[in-house]
């Protein structure tokens, strides 16, 4: 009994096939450069050689057909035929305020995703294209939607509203929605398990730092505030997105440079953030290397990103009152000790005290690590996220009629002794190369 999950971006599709009975990943991969002259698929199947090849994928329909064909390929595939797929789970970035949990996709749900596409113009259209393409190729199985925004529907009104004309909220849906919800859900549940706490009693600040980045305040196990807003543009400094700035800058630049609204939107979403500061780099690894070589703009980008994160942590600590744990996740959060160190410096007065050596050691996607000092009142964890597992478990439960909003639902990874088989195997190799890593692996209390 297998579950296929699809995460469709504007020019890519990430996928995974999960064997529910044996609780292991049979295959995963990505198709990139959809709509370009030469698309590329990178495919990994259990106990088989990695496949990487070019193909023609002018749209998501061809990309998903390529994925299906690759999964059934006798040499590199993972399944004999698609009859083993019991359901398909789809990531949907923006569900508006219509959904507080994942749903089986019917015509009404799909139409709602289309209606709120203007709130996520870079994401929802691609998500919808992927759903429609997959439903044509796999018409006889249930398709389910897992919304990034659903996790944040617990935010109180005083946190999600802007101080703008109230009619904008009533008539146009202008409010904070928040994103990265699937990641925050996984990390919050795992953090509660590591602390030995009831998930409904967890207070935590979670930093999801990747090319896109956001931070979430979790109180009593639910989201009460987050840095992203109406769109994923608000909040932290990101790879190419600006994050917070004075909105009057938009009018100033439109008047000064004669930029159109469309040009401004492109600048803020695709040419700002780390790229805007350095004018060269997006990937934080490139930025760190350049900074070490004396590139002042790259050093400035690191300092600015860390400072913005530090400010949000301070604000959310004040809002929560009690913070059980500060947690880092996603690509940069999991793999960039330098940025974590810059963020954590000087937070001792908030009860957040890192161990610098532990922080330097923690650079793995295969283990949850504890990088806090022994006498730190607040725990500091690095927890590799697993959005695909959340999508898989939501999809299975929806099909079986066992699903509910996360506060009334129990995931497998809430078990303190939960283990991801694939990560556990890879961790053994990581520890063989870096034995000291074993000393900072977080153990449930």
Active site amino acids = 148
Cβ atoms within 10 A of the Cβ of 341, count?
15
Instruction: Assess contact for 302 and 339: CB atoms under 8 A.
Output: yes
Q: Which two tokens stand for residue 20?
A: 């529910």
Name every residue whose Cβ is closer than 8 Å to that of residue 177 and which is 6 or more positions away in sequence: 94, 96, 97, 119, 149, 152, 160, 228, 229, 230
Q: Say how far apart CA 303 and CA 433 lie, in whole Å.
A: 31
Instruction: Assess contact for 89 and 6: CB atoms under 8 A.
Output: yes
Q: Say how far apart CA 188 and CA 191 lie, in whole Å.
A: 5
Q: Say how far apart CA 429 and CA 362 lie, in whole Å.
A: 15
Q: Say how far apart CA 406 and CA 14 lie, in whole Å.
A: 24
Name every residue whose Cβ is closer than 8 Å to that of residue 275 and which is 6 or more positions away in sequence: 239, 240, 281, 282
Cβ atoms within 10 A of the Cβ of 171, count?
9
Name the residue among 212, 205, 101, 186 with its Cα closest to residue 152: 101
Helix/strand/coil (H/E/C) assignment for every residue in 322-363: CCCEEEEEHHHHHHCHHHHHHHHCCCHHHCCCECHHHHHHCC
């Amino acid at each position: 009994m297998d579950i296929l999950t699809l995460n469709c971006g504007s020019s890519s599709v990430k996928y995974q096939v999960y064997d529910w009975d044996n609780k292991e990943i049979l295959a995963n991969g990505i198709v990139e450069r959809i709509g370009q002259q030469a698309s590329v698929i990178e495919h990994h199947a259990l106990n088989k050689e990695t496949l990487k090849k070019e193909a023609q994928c002018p749209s998501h329909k061809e990309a998903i057909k390529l994925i299906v064909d690759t999964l059934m390929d006798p040499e590199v595939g993972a399944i004999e035929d698609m009859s083993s797929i019991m359901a398909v789970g789809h990531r949907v970035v923006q569900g508006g305020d219509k959904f507080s949990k994942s749903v089986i996709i019917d015509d009404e749900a799909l139409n709602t995703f289309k209606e709120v596409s203007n709130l996520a113009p870079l994401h929802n259209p691609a998500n919808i294209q992927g759903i429609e393409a997959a439903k044509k190729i796999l018409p006889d199985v249930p398709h389910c939607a897992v919304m990034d925004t659903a996790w944040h529907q617990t935010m109180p009104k005083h946190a999600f509203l802007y101080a703008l004309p109230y009619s904008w909220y009533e008539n146009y849906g202008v409010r904070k929605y928040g994103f990265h919800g699937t990641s925050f859900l996984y990390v919050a549940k795992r953090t509660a398990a590591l602390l030995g706490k009831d998930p409904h009693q967890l207070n935590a600040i979670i930093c999801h730092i990747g090319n896109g980045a956001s931070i979430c305040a979790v109180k009593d196990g639910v989201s009460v505030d987050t840095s992203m807003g109406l769109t994923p543009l608000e909040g932290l400094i990101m790879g190419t997105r600006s994050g917070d700035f004075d909105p009057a800058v938009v009018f100033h630049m439109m008047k000064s440079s004669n930029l159109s609204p469309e040009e401004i939107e492109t600048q803020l979403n695709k040419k700002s953030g780390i790229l805007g500061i350095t004018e060269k780099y997006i990937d934080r690894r490139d930025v760190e290397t350049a900074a070490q070589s004396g590139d002042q703009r790259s050093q400035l980008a690191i300092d600015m990103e860390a400072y913005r994160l530090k400010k949000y942590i301070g604000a959310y600590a004040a809002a929560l009152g009690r913070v059980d744990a500060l947690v880092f996740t996603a690509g940069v959060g999991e793999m960039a000790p330098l940025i974590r160190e810059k963020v954590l410096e000087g937070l001792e007065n908030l009860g957040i005290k890192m161990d610098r050596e532990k922080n330097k050691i923690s650079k793995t996607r295969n283990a949850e690590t504890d990088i806090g000092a022994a006498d730190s009142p607040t725990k500091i964890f690095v927890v590799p996220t697993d959005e695909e597992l959340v999508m898989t478990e939501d999809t299975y439960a929806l099909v079986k009629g066992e699903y509910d909003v996360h506060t009334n639902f129990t995931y497998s990874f809430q078990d303190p002794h939960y283990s991801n088989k694939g990560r556990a195997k890879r961790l053994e190799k990581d520890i063989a190369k870096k034995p000291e890593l074993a000393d900072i692996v977080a153990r449930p209390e």
